[in-house]
Structure 1
Amino acid sequence: MIQRRIGIIMNGVTGRMGTNQHLIRSIMAIRQQGGVALPNGEALIPDPILVGRNEHKLRALAEAHKIERWSTDLAACLANPNDSIYFDAQSTTLRAENVKAAIQAGKHIYCEKPIATNTSTALELAHLAQQAGVKHGVVQDKLFLPGLQKLKRVIDSGFFGRILSVRGEFGYWVFEGDWQEAQRPSWNYRKEEGGGIIVDMLCHWEYVLHNLFGPVKAVSCLGATHIPERIDEQGNPYACTADDAAYSTFELEGGIIAHFNSSWCVRVYRDELLTIQVDGTHGSARAGLRECKVQSRVNTPKAIWNPDIPNPIDFYASWMDVPDNTTFENGFKAQWELFLKHVVCDTPFPWTLVAGARGVQLAELGLRSWQERRWLDVPAIPTELE
């Protein structure tokens, strides 16, 4: 098989998500499997150059994974015509200016979400990319979770009848950092550094809802900073200035009501860290990261409220597993492969920077809804920006 190289500038992959999901489990995994198979019989081999500000971390990461190229000079990397894709996994506050520079250099853009700290900047990035004629995409990994792919299969089958509501529970207990080390970096809890669960998770819920159920028309969101002080990576206490929990309700096009609780201050008593329940006139489903169960109306037990006797019904018994019926790839890797094919073969890739801007918009409106304590309409963003 003929191999075809594609150079990728990977900025910010020394962080937890960039290292594990994008470098190791995506780009390196694609290289190890022999590349991405193209329709013409060629194999597309990604050739990454790692970029960042910390020379020590970059060198160590490159050596650990036998990557030949790394640099602390982004401008020089963008000037290299042999690398056609720019990927950004930095903290959100640093992203916009570097993405702009990459667009000006003619690079195709693929980046983590949120793509910017505010809607106007996010729309500017999408507009600049469209004007420059470069391919562009944003990471929307939860769409590729096995549980949500199974849920999409159930939706497409017409199983639900008319969908009524969607209920999402996401989160886990993030230790404060005193008697046990925190699982998340301290910047997540500093608003001034782009932290906060509303900014983080409403971007996810926007694309999950949009792609599975329909566009979000309105939002009501209440945030909270439940833990006011945490301990940072150096062992020093710091004040938490960003929200660590969000309780959000969304009105979707078509009348579906969705509610998502997102929290880093909740102890898990459910099957997975994310569960989504969908209720319809003909059936219901409960999806997690990997599993999905359904209950049809003919299998729905007739519950009667009577607190004076022990519950006689096993409510779990009448739910059935949706089978795998396929092999599920790592979601980040699967989307990387689709984006690489999009760049080289012009195959469809709907998750553009415009989709990323919708996520930023919903997060920004969620914050405003919390501040103003009211419902807010979500203006539609056209796919093609003027």
Structure 2
Amino acid sequence: MYSSKLVRNFSPSMPVQQHKPVRQPPHSDSIHFPGAVKSKFTSALQFQSPGGAPAIPTYRLMDTDGVVIDKSNVPKVGKEMALKMYRDMVTVSIMDLIMYDSQRQGRISFYMVSAGEEGVAVGSAAALEPDDVIFSQYREQGVLMYRGYTLDEFMNQLFANKNDYGKGRNMPVHYMSEKLRLHPISSTLATQIPHAVGAAYALKLNGSPNITVCYFGDGAASEGDFHAALNVAATRACPVVFFCRNNGYAISTPTLEQYKGDGVASRGMGYGIDTIRVDGNDIWAVYEVTKRAREIAVTQQKPVLIEAMSYRVSHHSTSDDSFAYRAKDEVEDWKRRDNPITRLRKYLEAKGWWSTDEDMALRSSLRKEILQAFSRAEKMKRPPIKDLFMDIYEEPTEDLKEQMAELKNILDKYPEEYDLDSHEGGKDGL
């Protein structure tokens, strides 16, 4: 069920637990046990069935035609900001297509497309402050784009060249940026969730006005790290916003086979965390929900869970063929009926802020910009060979020095087996 009402207090009622004996009359109708909230007694033996509870509603501001549902709740975003959000979404979608094709051509080794989820990333990023700390997964290109990550920075990472912040040691789409307060992305599922909680607790202890935001998918929510992290965040009241992109599939596993409960949002309620579900294809709903969630996390110093409902239009990655486990008709149906970019464009056109001609010109211009950045990054040399051994310790250990010497001997002995000229400094870069 959709709802256009953004309830300010969407939290479970969690009074402070009493850890000392409480005097109660012998025939009281309720009691506050140490392990739960105040609960009424009953003489009826009845198990609580999840099927008996109503599903958590999904907050939405505009429909699939870009029309605002509740006219008293118009998005509080001006033309300049709205057009930037649209431009960033379109940029990500075009970059995705180009980089997916480049992997198929063997020019990069791996890529992950975020088609269908652009509104989730850009809408949430627009609601954050620049110094909020990001722990993301691998479909948050729009978050970086909105924060100012340039096309050159994207391409440098994807080609693992000498300007890559990770010095060529990470897989493609594993971005990082100290300037933009983005922690390095890890392939290992869900490890960023407890890290985000730890960072949020540190911010809390330091009296920081900022929060951490942790992005992950529905598949990561099935990992143990998710549950441990939410429990610690709740019990230690950490200012973190958990942002789950529920796109229907964890690689080849549909949500139907992942869990039986009411999505991921119901788990937040179980851990005593303020929780809301939002239409992830509605960029204005995502923006409003994230803005309110951040406010709660900052002012009340506690965690919030957002479950953004969407659909993964693309394959999981360039290593996946999703038509092996889902019908093409299903994907095409979602493409036609609910695209976050199309929905925002209709809204902008209705406002008189955008036109078909402007859209065509933007897409043509962006494609040229992306291809130019692509060409620059592809031609750059790779990082110096010595970077394989640097940044592990402040000073290389004796073991590392021995390994470097061993590698140098191998390169001296078999120079024709290695493309040393493609690295910065060549053999002298070791």
TM-score w.r.t. length of structure 1: 0.21
Compare CA radii of gyration and give the structure with the larger one: 2
Q: Whose helix fraction is larger, Structure 1's or Structure 2's?
A: 2
